Structures are given as structure tokens and as C-alpha cells.
Amino acid sequence: MTYQYAYPHPAVTTDVAVFTLQNQQLQLLLVRRARAPYAGSWALPGGFLDIREDLEACARRELLEETGVSDLYIEQLYTFGHPERDPRERVISVTYYALVPSDRTRLHPGSDAADAAWFAIDDLPDLAFDHAAIIELARERLAAKTLYSTIIFQLMPETFTLSELQSVYEILRREQLDKRNFRKWILGLDRLEETGAKRRNGNHRPAKIYRVKNPGLIEYIR
Amino acid sequence: MTYQYAYPHPAVTTDVAVFTLQNQQLQLLLVRRARAPYAGSWALPGGFLDIREDLEACARRELLEETGVSDLYIEQLYTFGHPERDPRERVISVTYYALVPSDRTRLHPGSDAADAAWFAIDDLPDLAFDHAAIIELARERLAAKTLYSTIIFQLMPETFTLSELQSVYEILRREQLDKRNFRKWILGLDRLEETGAKRRNGNHRPAKIYRVKNPGLIEYIR
DNA sequence: GTTACTAAGTGTTAAACATACACTATATAA
DNA sequence: TTATATAGTGTATGTTTAACACTTAGTAAC
């Protein structure tokens, strides 16, 4: 069966840049392409839009099918449509970025992709299509959001120490922050509470453990 | 001639929300639809992507064809793709917003649309498709940009007074600003220079006329 | 030509916020 | 007991923002 149109139609895909934090590094989720073009290359999870499917639903579905990751924070990033960006046919890609807390990064790659894996953001393999540009834009957007939004809490596990949280901000902004000023600022947002527990983690004083007060809420700050 | 695909393809359009300032009001450019669906309704200028055409080029082309407006500041806004947003077929709309200085708002509507006109943003007619939602998002984006970017200069004519510039900020932010604080802040950006001329405009003291120092430059501020 | 009117133009003060900076506390391990 | 490593804490200074009212220089009306 084929589908006919009076005028040529581009294909539409969604692609998602999924970030998490592991080993004190910002990590990105990639899938190895099973088929041409770019067979064997790594790429962002994503794929073709079903004709009755919402755009964000497509992004979430492809992500689930290819990597097993679901239930994450996701937001539209930008739409890429350079006429030559896919060698097969004209493809418009509506891209998203997403954040997974570091305690929910287990992968169950499905049949669509041969493999799925996390990569440190500063050590990515060669990427299919224009996916390197998509990732760079997503990283910039995320860094900018650390300045005026509480979106970063979406990257945190259930509980964490203030030092761990500070290191997330430092990784995203690519700069060191002053410990006392950071603590004053982040506690002043009134979005963290102590759990009462402490974490022993090496031969030194244990750290207080915090949780986010209202984890789903993303606020504009400053 | 028809075009065939193994899988159904959505149509892709671009739509543009073009803003300007006239009569101390924020105005938006609309076209009256000549054909069904929504024949006779007002809508954003826009139309179907040519299969070899870049997305932004499509937005600029449709705008020129339908309204005669060209050579403006344009930026991608968001991609709308609700499955039911167009009654004809599945349509993904990549939307843009654009700014025209108030001394270049002459319209030359072409054959694609029956008519084109500027409307005050607070007095829009009923709109086709989901265009009301697109406009609302564009307006919010623009208001947010007044806080951290010099994009607003793209709305200004060659020369203007500080009071005129202040009223642009007030319209976009929907709040009154203090005259002394505004002048201190805007002159502190070091992007304005006096032309030396003055504008007589009513039975009161004439205002100094300014121009933007580097009109093409859009900076992040604060 | 005096007066009424209108928007242009101009500084200071107080409060809030951001930045810079160094030592003590509490655990583990040798 | 001592060495080591990260957790945890406060102050002082500079910068930015916010609040606030009068004088100036034109036009228009009488």
C-alpha cells in the first residue's frame, strides 16, 4: 500500500537529547543505528511520526521503544529542517531535550535500535545526521536554564547532598561555584528540605541528605 | 502528477507572527484567507514548505508573497503539531516570530491571500486554526526577551525618543516603568546615541532624538 | 506678552542582592 | 593518636535595583 499526495511531503521525525548525571559527569543517551543510513553509527533516539500521533507523544514513544526509558521531563527544543540533513528524503526533525534522574537510568533497548548506551557529554562518538548540532543546542539551553529555572531538580535522584547538587550546577555551567554562596542561594529558594539522614561517603564528615520539596514544580527564579 | 510514499507523511507549513508598533500599540500582521478551510477568516501569514526549501526561507517567502513584507528580524518560535489542528490533513506547523520597525510596515499583499492588514494585539479578529495560541506564545516570548536581550531595537524606526522607546517596553511588559530608572538603564547599555536633533511634538518641551548604535547587533544583557 | 499646560529631562537615597573570602567540625583510616 | 578529607558555617564589601519630585522648554490661548 502506498500513500499519495498532490504535492511532495517531507517526512517528520522527532529526536530527543536525554541527559542524566552519572559518575559526576553529564551523560547523554544514544542508540546505535541498526539500518542505513549511518548504520552502526550512534544517534539520538527518535524516529518517524505516526500520522495520528502528537509530536511529544512520538518523542516519548520512540524513546521508550529504543531505550526503555519513560516517565521523564521533556521539552521541545527546536525544529531542524535543512534540506540535505537526511540522504534518503526530505526530513524535518522536531527535537526535544529531556532529563532523567540519576537513579532511573536503567536501559532496556528494544528492537528498533541495535543498542543503547549513556555517553559522557565530553566524550561522544561520531554522530549520525546533524545530531551533534542538536546536542550542542540542547546543552546550551540546559546551561541557560540553570540561571533562571529550577529545571535542574529533574536531574537529581530522590535524595542528595548539597555538594552533589552543587557539582551538577558546576558541570552544566562549566565553572566552579563558591560553596557558601551556593548554599545560601539554593536554600534561599525554599525548595529543599533535610531528610534528617546523613551520608557517610569516605573518611570525612558525613553530609546531610536533602530532598526536593515539590519535585514536579518547575519555577522561574531570580 | 502525484507523489507516493510507503508510509503516510504529514504536510509541513510555516506560520509567522509579525509584530510592529504603530499608534503606540503593538500590532500584528494578519492575512485574510481566500480559500477553505476558514475562508474569509484572518490567519497568520504562512503556507506549505517547498520540498527543497529551508524552513526559515519558507517563512520569509510566504510572508513576502502574502504581504510584501521582507528583510525583517525573524526567529523560530515553536512547532505545533496537534493531530487535529487542520481539518484537511495532518499538518505540522513550524512557527516563527518576526519584528518590523514601524517605519517599514507598508503592505503589498499578493495573490495568495485576499488581503493583509495590521491589527492591534489587544483587538484581534477570530483566527483560523490554532493561530490564537501561536500568537499568545509569541507575545510571551517577546515579553520575556525584553528582560535579557536587545531584540526590541528591531522594532524601532531609524530614530526615536527615549519616551517612545520606554513606551515600547511598557507595552510589551504590560507594566509602567519609572522614567528616571528606565533612562539610566537603557543609556547604561551603551547602545544608543543622540542624533543631535530634537522632535517637537505637541505644546511642550521637544525631545532629544536617538538612534541605535549598531542596529543589527542583538545582545544578551543583565 | 503673560499665563496655563504638557511632556522632557534630571539625582539621591535606601534596600536587596551578589561576591569574595578562611576556618572549624566530624567522620574514616592508618 | 594522628593524618586526612569533605561538610559546614558568617561577615564585609560592592553592585544593582527601586522608590521618589521638581525644573525645563516648548505650544496655545487669552
Task: Tell me the ipTM for this assembly.
Answer: 0.94
Residues in B closer than 8 angstroms to A9, CB to CB, are 3, 5, 9-12, 51
Nucleotides of C under 7 A from a protein CB: 4-12, 18-22, 25-29
How far is Cα A5 from Cα A7, in angstroms, rounded to an integer?
A: 5
Which residues belong to CATH 1.10.10.10 in chain B?
Answer: 156-212
Q: Would you say A214 and A154 are in contact if contact means Cβ atoms under 8 Å apart?
A: no
Which three cell numbers mark A138? 540542547
Q: What is the mean pLDDT of residues B92-117?
A: 87
pLDDT tens track for B167-184? 999 999 999 999 999 999
Q: What's the CATH superfamily of B11-146?
A: Nucleoside Triphosphate Pyrophosphohydrolase (3.90.79.10)
Which residues belong to CATH 3.90.79.10 in chain A?
Answer: 11-145
Smallest CA–C1' separation from A181: which nucleotide? C19
Which residues belong to CATH 3.90.79.10 in chain B?
Answer: 11-146
Whole-model pTM? 0.95
Q: How far is A213 from chain B (nearest CA, A)?
A: 27
CATH 3.90.79.10 given to domain A11-145: yes
Q: How far is A134 from chain B (nearest CA, A)?
A: 15
Q: Could you tell me how far CA A133 lies from the centroid of its own chain? A: 15
Which three cell numbers mark A78? 527546536
pLDDT of res. A111: 58
CATH 3.40.140.10 given to domain A151-212: no
Question: Which whole-number Å values give the CA distances from A171 to A121, A142, A166, A188, B29, in the listed order?
Answer: 10, 11, 9, 21, 43
Which phi and psi (to 5°) does residue A44 adopt? -70, 145
pLDDT of res. A159: 96
Q: Where are the beta strands (DSSP E) in A33-149?
A: 42-43, 46-48, 73-80, 91-99, 115-120
pLDDT of res. A180: 98
pLDDT tens track for B70-94? 999 999 999 999 999 999 999 999 9
Which residues belong to CATH 1.10.10.10 in chain A?
Answer: 151-212
For A196, the 3-state DSSP assignment is strand
Asked if residue B113 has pLDDT above 70, the reply is no
What percent of chain B lies above the pLDDT cut of 70? Answer: 98
Q: Which residues are CB-contacts of A10 (< 8 A; sequence separation ≥ 6)?
A: A81, A89, A90, A91, A92, B9, B12, B49, B51
Number of residues written out for chain B: 222
Which among B10, B55, B78 has CB closest to A81?
B55
Cβ neighbourhood burial of A57 (10 Å; 0-12, 13-18, 19+) = middle
Question: Which whole-number Å values give the CA distances from B192 to B144, B154, B186, B195, B208, in the listed order?
Answer: 21, 13, 8, 9, 12
Class of domain B156-212: mainly alpha
